[in-house]
């Protein structure tokens, strides 16, 4: 979670009260702070009322413009740096380098949240680029706010593995779990579609599995298929600790462990390196 203790200070820095020409007056800042609370309470789900409520068009434009200060050389550069430090990798795809700040609610439409930390998600440039330009109207298509919606209560991300074609084909999918609403299930599926993860995972899987060759070989030599399975499940558990319960690498490890052919030496051919 971002530090939310400087929200008013950020506004005062960009829009000083003593500046009589400032487009954001103290009363506007009060209103904006109220909107911030509503955003947090509403888990960042789009609410068109927030666009029209209380702030003039000029004030909203000024807040949008203030996002320019959240650049590396802007007056809110510290905010940018602290947000980017929150994520090891892009939280949308789980592998991209964090370079951008994505506006969870698009800033061209929800101008009032242009510099609100809970609306600024550190992300890779590809995910940021794939993001739709407008928030979805249908609740089943709306994006999950990376800060406000904790989905770690169940393991929903799984990978089916097929090596019959001579290479590892990993098909990732969302599985409905106990306690998960239909709406959340649909939103997670939409996430995979919108960020084009079905197309982007295969090359990541190949790169990642190439780094596992030596460990797979060692474990097969020492313990056969059971040794490989145990190694994969240990790796899955370690991955949960470092990257969370629904990271794609964890799902991949579990999927591979369930594939008997892969574990029983099939990985040599599927990963393209010679057996002992
Ligand atoms: Zn990404």
The pLDDT score that the predictor gives to residue 52 is: 81
Determine the average pLDDT of the residues in 130-157. Answer: 94
Determine the average pLDDT of the residues in 10-19. Answer: 96
Q: 40: alpha, beta or left, given left = phi > 0 and alpha = psi -120 to 50?
A: alpha
How many angstroms separate the alpha carbon of residue 222 from the centre of ligand 1?
37
DSSP state of 275: -
Q: What is the CA radius of gyration of the chain?
A: 23
How many angstroms separate the alpha carbon of residue 115 from the centre of ligand 1?
21
Residue written as token pair 């500046």: 19
C-alpha dihedral sign at 259, 165, 219, 208? negative
The pLDDT score that the predictor gives to residue 197 is: 97
* Domains in the chain: boundaries: 7-141, 157-271
Enter the pTM of the model.
0.93
DSSP state of 72: T
Confidence class for position 275, pLDDT limits 50, 70, 90: confident
How many angstroms separate the alpha carbon of residue 236 from the centre of ligand 1?
21
The pLDDT score that the predictor gives to residue 276 is: 78
Q: Is 274 exposed, middle or buried (0-12, 13-18, 19+ CB in 10 A)?
A: exposed
Nearest to 17 by CA among 31, 27, 7: 27
Confidence class for position 211, pLDDT limits 50, 70, 90: very high
Name the helix (H) or strand (E) containing 129: helix 125-130
How many angstroms separate the alpha carbon of residue 130 from the centre of ligand 1?
9
How many angstroms separate the alpha carbon of residue 129 from the centre of ligand 1?
9
Cα gap 93→192, rounded to integer Å: 8
How many angstroms separate the alpha carbon of residue 16 from the centre of ligand 1?
36
pLDDT in tens, 106-131: 999 999 999 999 999 999 999 999 99
Residue written as token pair 């600024």: 120
| C-alpha distance from residue 195 to each of 123, 125, 170, 190, 199 (Å) | 11, 11, 17, 8, 9
The pLDDT score that the predictor gives to residue 53 is: 79
Q: What SS3 string covers 150-198? A: CCCCCCCEEEEEECCCCCCEEEEEECCCCCCCHHHHHHHHHHHHHCCHH
pLDDT in tens, 64-84: 999 999 999 999 999 999 999
Exposure class string for 24-34: b at 16+ Cβ within 10 A, else e: beeebbebbee
């Amino acid at each position: 979670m971002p530090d939310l203790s400087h929200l008013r200070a950020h506004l005062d820095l960009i829009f000083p009260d003593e500046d009589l020409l400032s487009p954001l007056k103290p009363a506007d800042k009060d209103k904006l702070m109220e909107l911030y609370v509503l955003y947090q309470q509403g888990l960042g789900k789009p609410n068109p009322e927030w666009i029209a409520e209380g702030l003039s068009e000029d004030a909203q434009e000024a807040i949008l413009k203030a996002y320019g200060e959240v650049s590396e050389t802007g007056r809110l550069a510290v905010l940018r740096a602290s947000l980017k430090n929150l994520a090891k990798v892009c939280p949308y795809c789980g592998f991209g380098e964090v370079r951008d700040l994505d506006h969870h609610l698009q800033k061209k439409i929800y101008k009032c949240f242009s510099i609100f930390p809970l609306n600024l998600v550190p992300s890779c440039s590809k995910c940021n680029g794939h993001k739709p330009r407008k928030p979805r109207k249908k609740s089943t298509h709306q994006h999950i706010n990376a800060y406000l919606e904790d989905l770690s209560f169940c393991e929903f991300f799984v990978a089916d593995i097929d090596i019959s074609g001579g290479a590892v084909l990993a098909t990732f999918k969302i599985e409905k779990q106990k306690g998960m609403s239909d709406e959340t299930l649909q939103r997670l599926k939409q996430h995979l579609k919108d960020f084009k993860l079905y197309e982007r995972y295969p090359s990541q899987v190949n790169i990642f599995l190439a780094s596992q060759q030596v460990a797979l070989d060692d474990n097969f030599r020492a313990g056969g298929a059971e040794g490989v399975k145990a190694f994969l499940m240990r790796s899955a558990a370690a991955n949960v600790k470092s990257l969370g319960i629904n990271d794609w690498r964890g799902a991949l490890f579990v999927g591979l462990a369930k594939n008997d052919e892969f574990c029983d030496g099939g990985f040599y051919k599927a990963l393209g390196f010679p057996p002992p």
